[in-house]
Amino acid sequence: MVKILISDPLSEEGLKLLEKEGDFQVDVKTGLKPDALKEEIKDYDALIIRSATKVTADVIAAAAKLKVIGRAGVGLDNVDLEAATQKGIIVMNTPAGNTISTAEHTVSMILSLSRNIPQANSSTRQGEWKRSKFMGVEVYNKVLGIVGLGRIGLEVAKRCLSFGMKILAYDPFLSREVAEGLGIEIVELKELFSRSDYISVHTPLTEETKHMISTKEIALMKKGVRLVNCARGGIVDETALAQAIKEGKVLGAAIDVFEKEPPAPDNELLKLDNVIVTCHLGASTEEAQVNVSVEIAECVRDYLQGKGVYNAANYPCLDAKVFKVLEPYLNLAEKLGSFSAQLAEGRFKEINISYSGDIAQHDLSLLTMALVKGLLSPILKETVNFINASNLAKERGIRVKESKSSKEEEFLTAIQLEIKTDKEERRITGTLSMNKQPRIVKVDDYYVELSPSGDMIVIQNMDKPGIIGSLGTILGEHKINIAAMTFGRQNPGGKAVTVLNIDGLVSAELLEKIKKIENITAVKVIKI
C-alpha cells in the first residue's frame, strides 16, 4: 500500500481524486510541528503540502521511504530542494494552477494603488467624505514594468494592455521577438527601472532575486513610481522600500507577500498610509484552490503509478507521447554510461554527450541524467539516482557537455559518449536495434555489435589466429558459457577489440589466465 501524507489543507476535489485509487492510503494531518512532521514522515511514500508546511533538510533526512513531494502552488521556498535532490526525492509544484488568480490580484493592486480604493473605503466607513484627499490617477498611457514575464507576468501584461498601458518587461529567458509579437517591449533591468510608472515583480525567490529591488535599484527609478509585489516576500527589500516611500521617491506600494509571514507588527510598511497590504491572497480564489489541488493530486498519482513525471522542479518533465519515444533511449543511455565508466581508466574529468538523428528534436535532458547515472553507478552504487546524478557529477568536478544534431551520421539515431580522464580518452557509441534493444556499435574507432547486459569481458588484442580458440578453452575449463561474441578491427592483423557476453562470474584467477593469452594486451570485466 502506497502511503500519502497531506500536511496542509487540500480541496475536496484533490482528496477524492487520490482516495478513489485502491492502492493509496491517504492521511490528512495538518498543523504538524517540525518535530512531529519528522516523526510522521518516516513511513510515507509521498507528501503533499501548500505553503504552511516547511520541508527542511531535517525533515527530508528523516523521510526513509519518501519518493515525491507535491506542492499545491507555485513557490518552493518552503522546500529544501537541494536536500530533496540529493536524496533522490522528486519535488513537484503546480505552476499553472493559480496563474489567473494571482494575475487578477496583481491587477487589482495596481488599480487600488491608482485610485486609493482601500484608503477611501476605510475613510468613508468612518463617516468621512473627503473626495479631494483620495484624488487618483489613470493607468491609461502609463508605463508598467514587469520583472519576470512567465505565466503570471504574461497574464498581467495582457490585462494591462487592455487598459491602454505601455508594457516593458525584463526576462532574460524570453526572446525579444516573442515579446514584441505580444506588444511588449523587452528591456534591460536598469532601463525598466528608469522608465516605469508602475513596477510589478513576478520572479521566484532565489539567491539571485533576493532583494533584487533595494536602495540601489530604487535610486534608478522615477520619482513617484508605484511598486507591486504579489510574487514572493524578499524580492523587494522592505526596509529600503519603506524608506523610499517616506522620502517621496516611491509614491505608493501594494504588497501581498512579506519576508516574514505574517509580518511583525512593527514592520514599517504597515504604518504607511500609501501602502496597500494583503495577507498573501494571490492564489486565494475558490477556482485556484481547486485547480492546484487537483493538479498536484494528478501529478503525484501519475508518478506513483509509473505514468510519468510532470511539473517537477528537479527532474525533466515530458508528456506521455514524447516519453514513449524516448523510453528505449533512456535504457540505452544508462547502459552506455555504465559500460563506458567501467571501460575507462583514471579519474573522470569531462564527458561529452552527442545526440544525433531523430531524437535530437526533443528535450534530451532526461537522457543525459540517465547517462550520468549510469556513468556514476559503478562507483557510487545505490547512492546515485536519476535526480541527483547531475549534482553528484558536478560535486566531483566532472564537466558534462551535451550537443545535438538532427542530421543522421553513421547511424539513424545514436548517442556518442566521449570520456576524458586523467589517463586517457574513450569514445563509445550506442544506438537501438530494430526491436528497440540497446546496442553498443562502436568502441573508440572499432565497429562492434554488442548487447550491454549482464557479465561481459572486453579485450584489446592483436588480430591474430588462435585467440578465439584460447578464450573458448579457458572459459570452458571454468564452466562459463559464451552467450555472444563480437569483434572489431581496423586492419587485418592489427589492433582489435573482442567483446564476450558470458553466463557466469569471472574470478581473479580466470582474469589472470585470460591476460596471459598471447596477443591479448588488455582485459576488462564489465557487469551491467
Domain spans, the chain: 2-95+288-304, 99-277, 322-527
Q: Is 50 a known active-site residue?
A: no
> Residue 384 has what pLDDT?
75
Superfamily grouping for domain 99-277: NAD(P)-binding Rossmann-like Domain (3.40.50.720)
What's the half-sphere exposure (Cβ side, CA atoms, 13 Å) at 108?
15
222: CB partners within 8 A, 6+ apart = 194, 195, 196, 197
CB atoms within 10 A of CB 64: 9
Q: What are the pLDDT digits (tens) for 425-454?
A: 999 999 999 999 999 999 999 999 999 999
Arch. (CATH architecture) of 322-527 = 2-Layer Sandwich (3.30)
Q: Which of these is catalytic: 115, 151, 211, 280? A: 280
When pLDDT is cut at 50, 70 and 90, the band that residue 524 belongs to is: very high
Counting DSSP H helices and E strands in the chain, the numbers are 17, 22
In this model, does residue 71 exceed pLDDT 80? yes
Question: Could you tell me the pLDDT band of residue 173, with boundaries at 50, 70 and 90?
Answer: low
* Beta strands at 348-356 and 399-405: parallel, antiparallel or unpaired: parallel
User: Could you give the count of Cα atoms lying within 13 Å of 170 in the half-sphere of its Cβ?
Assistant: 18
**Kind of pairing, strands 250-255 and 275-277?**
parallel
> Does residue 232 carry a catalytic annotation?
yes
Which three three-digit cell numbers place residue 443?
A: 568502441
- If one counts every other C-beta atom within 10 angstroms of the C-beta of residue 141, the result is 10
Cell of 261: 509571514
Burial (CB count within 10 angstroms: exposed 0-12, middle 13-18, buried 19+), residue 322: middle
* pLDDT at residue 397, as a whole number: 81
Residue 261 is a catalytic residue? yes
Q: Rg of the chain over CA atoms, in angstroms?
A: 30
| CATH number for the domain running over 2-95+288-304 | 3.40.50.720
> Which tens digits make up the pLDDT trace of 225-237?
999 999 999 999 9
Residue 347's CB is within 10 A of a number of other CB atoms, namely: 11
- With cell 566521449, the residue in question is 418
> Is residue 338 within 8 Å of 528, Cβ to Cβ?
yes
Q: Do domains 2-95+288-304 and 99-277 have the same CATH topology?
A: yes
Average pLDDT rounded to a whole number, residues 57-63: 96
Q: Which of 50, 105, 232, 301 is catalytic?
A: 232
d(CA 261, CA 277): 12
Is residue 316 within 8 A of residue 305, CB to CB? The reply is no
Kindly name the residue from 138, 261, 410, 518 that is annotated as catalytic. 261
